[in-house]
């Protein structure tokens, strides 16, 4: 998720970044002064794990601050500056992926790919039906076919039940994988994020097996893989310690 840090260039001006407890959670202080978001909101996160990770990102900066190396900070900024103010819109957007979920759109040929999609994706659709009460139907081809409204409502309810910090991490899980079901499976640890990544790339892996690996596409895919791993970590780390 973009957060307002893109293109921001500044010099390191602090000696120490330190997580500190505050009202409603934790913040991070640079030489005793609390960090603020690009929108000038106090950077307050719900768990010590997030605060420690953010402090580590700031401590790792060299002379020039590089936002690209600060994924936890960026996502926390998004949670506070964007998701908190547009929660319903963001939740609705992500829940809408259920109506065109990657796992539901199947190839018509070749048969080997059809079988691979079925073997790898059907268990997750079955899990969504059994564990979440939401049965999504696989369809052949790329033409959109609406899913059952009651099933989509149940999935949407789960998305809307997240906190703004969970939703900020969940955003990239859904957007990068193209699957609401895969993302939800990661949030409850039905599958690992690495498994979700592999499942989201069944078609791409097939193409690579047939035609070889494209170096440029491979580099882009690796960036997305890192982003989705970071998103999963952020989601789980945002849940309040008990």
Q: What is the CATH number of the domain that holds 39?
A: 3.30.2180.10
pLDDT digits (tens, 9 = 90+) for 58-99: 999 988 889 899 999 999 999 999 999 999 999 999 999 999
Do residues 64 and 22 lie in contact, with contact meaning Cβ atoms separated by under 8 Å?
A: no
Q: Write the CATH number for 177.
A: 1.10.3580.10
| Number of domains the chain is built from | 2
Residues 52 and 111 in one domain: no
66 C-beta neighbours (distance < 10 Å), count: 14
User: Residue 91 in contact with residue 157, Cβ under 8 Å?
Assistant: no
Q: In whole angstroms, give the CA distance from residue 51 to residue 70.
A: 12
pLDDT score at 237: 97
Task: In the chain, count H helices and then E strands.
Answer: 10, 5
- CA separation for the pair 200, 105 (Å, rounded): 12
Cβ atoms 24, 32 nearer than 8 A: no
The whole-angstrom distance between residue 141's C-alpha and the CA centroid of its chain comes to: 27
Q: Kindly state whether residue 189 falls inside one of the protein's structural domains.
A: yes
Structure tokens at 204: 């791409």
63 and 126 both lie in a single domain: no
142, 34: one domain: no
Would you say residue 170 lies in a domain? yes
- Quote the pLDDT of residue 2: 55
pLDDT the model gives residue 39: 95
Give a yes or no: residue 82 inside a domain.
no
- Report d(CA 187, CA 240) in Å as an integer: 14
- Report yes or no on 200 lying in a domain: yes
Q: State the pLDDT at residue 213.
A: 87
* CA atoms of 147 and 216, how far apart (whole Å): 35
- Residue 92 in domain: yes
Identify the pLDDT of residue 25: 95
Q: Cα dihedral sign for 233, 236, 241, 242?
A: negative
Beta pairing partners, 27:
20
Phi–psi pair at 37, nearest 5 degrees? -75, 170
Range of the domain at 39: 17-67
CB atoms within 10 A of CB 23: 7
- Note whether residue 22 is domain-resident: yes
User: DSSP readout, 125-136?
Assistant: HHHHHHHHS--P
* Alpha carbon distance 217, 198 (integer Å): 15
Q: What is the predicted pLDDT for the residue at 7?
A: 45
Specify the pLDDT at position 6: 47
d(CA 196, CA 194): 5
Is 103 inside any structural domain? yes
Q: Are 115 and 216 part of one and the same domain?
A: yes
- CB distance 181 to 98 below 8 Å: yes
Instruction: Report if residue 202 sits inside a domain.
Output: yes
- In whole angstroms, give the CA distance from residue 111 to residue 231: 34
Residues of the chain with pLDDT under 50: 4, 6-9, 242
Q: What is the pLDDT of residue 12?
A: 81
Same domain, 191 and 100: yes
pTM assigned to the model: 0.92
What local confidence, expressed as pLDDT, does residue 241 receive? 59
């Amino acid at each position: 998720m973009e957060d307002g840090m893109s293109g921001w260039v500044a010099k390191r001006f602090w000696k120490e970044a330190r997580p500190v407890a505050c009202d409603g959670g934790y913040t991070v202080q640079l030489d005793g002064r609390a960090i603020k978001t690009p929108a000038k909101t106090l950077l307050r996160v719900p768990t010590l794990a997030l605060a420690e990770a953010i402090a580590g990102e700031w401590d790792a900066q060299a002379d020039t601050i590089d936002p690209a190396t600060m994924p936890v900070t960026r996502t926390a900024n998004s949670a506070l500056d964007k998701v908190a103010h547009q929660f319903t819109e963001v939740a609705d957007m992500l829940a809408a992926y259920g109506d065109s979920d990657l796992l539901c759109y199947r190839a018509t040929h070749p048969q080997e790919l059809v079988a691979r999609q079925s073997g790898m994706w059907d268990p997750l659709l079955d899990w969504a039906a059994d564990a979440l009460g939401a049965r999504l139907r696989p369809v052949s081809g790329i033409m959109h076919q609406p899913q059952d409204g009651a099933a989509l409502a149940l999935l949407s309810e789960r998305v809307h039940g997240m906190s703004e910090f969970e939703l900020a991490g969940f955003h990239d899980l859904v957007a990068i994988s193209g699957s609401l079901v895969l993302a939800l499976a990661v949030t409850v640890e039905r599958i690992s994020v690495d498994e979700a990544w592999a499942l989201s790339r069944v078609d791409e892996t097939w193409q690579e097996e047939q035609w070889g690996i494209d170096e440029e596409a491979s580099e882009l895919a690796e960036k997305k893989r890192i982003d989705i791993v970071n998103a999963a970590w952020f989601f789980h780390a945002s849940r309040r310690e008990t």
